Structure 1
Amino acid sequence: MTAPHTELRRAAVPNAMGHVVLAFAERTLRPHDLAGLRERLWQSRTYLYVTPGAVLIDRALEGFPEEVRALGQRCPFYRYDARSGGGYWPDRDEIWLAAGVETYEGLRQVRLSACHELFHFVCWNHPRYRADEDRGFARLRRVIAESKRMARDHSRYHKWVTGSFLRQGDHANIVEYFADIPTNFRDAAELPPPIAAHFGPLIAGSSFPMEFDRDLADEPYELEDFQRSLAP
């Protein structure tokens, strides 16, 4: 997907009124009726509410360590005219997220989508995590391999790996895994200990493990090998 170039801007008052309408609809309508409302709204390409980028960063990273929040606030974050989609473009070091996510996917989903993209930005801009990405996530691949035998002991993580992440085909790659872990696991205790330690600085503000920059995977990254290393 080519990165968008035109930001969608909304006037503050109608945008705030749209938030009231959308929140009420999500709270009161049955799923079938809410889906029908969304289809009718899309006929006129209506966005009830579009969270401004800076506000969305704050909401998406609420509860994360201050260092992570401060890094995320440096991210240029734009909304553009589309029902769904978006992403982080490292060549521009920017996030563009579709303006329709709130209206057509939900107010909770927009925070999750933003959080996921922001952790791509964090990985690219945090010196130590960027160093691991530059070496093919050799340290992360090592801790995943070490965690394989422990995965079943962490039921929510095991269910997520087998029931959600690995079902995404080629999208179930290590770059997406990196962004998915802090997005989906705010409590590091739900993760196998080696993975929890690797992501601890991002999730809980803990110190980096002493072995973070050593004890690396020896083999080059291959998608099939990575996916096999995840499957318990």
Structure 2
Amino acid sequence: MSQSIAPVLTDQQVDDSPTLTFEEYRVYQGELDVQYELYKGKLIPMPTATVLHIKICEYLVYKLQRYLAAHNLDLVVKTGLGVRTDEDKSRIPDVVVCTQSLLEQAAGRPGAGILDFDEKPLLVVEVVSENRRADYVIKRAEYELANVPEYCIIDPKSGKQKIRILALIEGEDGYTHTDFFTGEEIVSVVFPDFILSVDEILNPPLVEELVKAERAELQESQQQVVIERQRAQEQRQLAEKLAAKLRELGVDPDTV
């Protein structure tokens, strides 16, 4: 998650908060309803997301889930899933795509749900909020170090709206990035035929409305199937009546 309000400490600042190991962080119990990331052993509290932030994440999860199902991929899309990026660093991206087996491994361990350093997700997504440097610089370096194949930064801030796709390209040293702006469509590197409108991501419809429309379309399709079946049955009955009439007249309907 990219909404940290805790500043990154410099060498000149004094920090007397406890330093945690990764294992201590995994089982750490802080304030209720507050998530924490780990940066150089220090806890970073994550504040409540804005409504736009929530809508963007829900829309991406909705689209990705349907994409993965349509392509019959054994992958999952999750929010709130941690990703360990270094010995004493762990992030909570807004959206994570990983294999089902990795999710099950994380579920089998005590404490928070976190993919360990050698359990790479295929894609992580961060929606930019106040701490822009964290998403564009600090987390970029962490995800690159962790060899995450694709890192997507969604920047909804007015006047700076864009989506940046950073990917590990064969033959390149580290991440290569491409920026997509309003009026364009993003193209994923990991999922090359997963294409979405930048405008729709930055100003997404409510997922509830999409689900309603999806259900209405399904019901209409089912009704059409029923109508076609009834029509076919009526044609069969008409054909049977015609055949019976021909037999009454001494005509074999199979020879007509």
Do they fold alike, i.e. is TM over 0.5?
no
Higher relative contact order (Cα pairs below 8 Å, separated by 6+ residues) = 1
* Larger relative helix fraction: 1
Instruction: State TM-score, norm by structure 2.
Output: 0.27
Larger Cα-atom Rg = 2
Structure with the larger strand share: 2
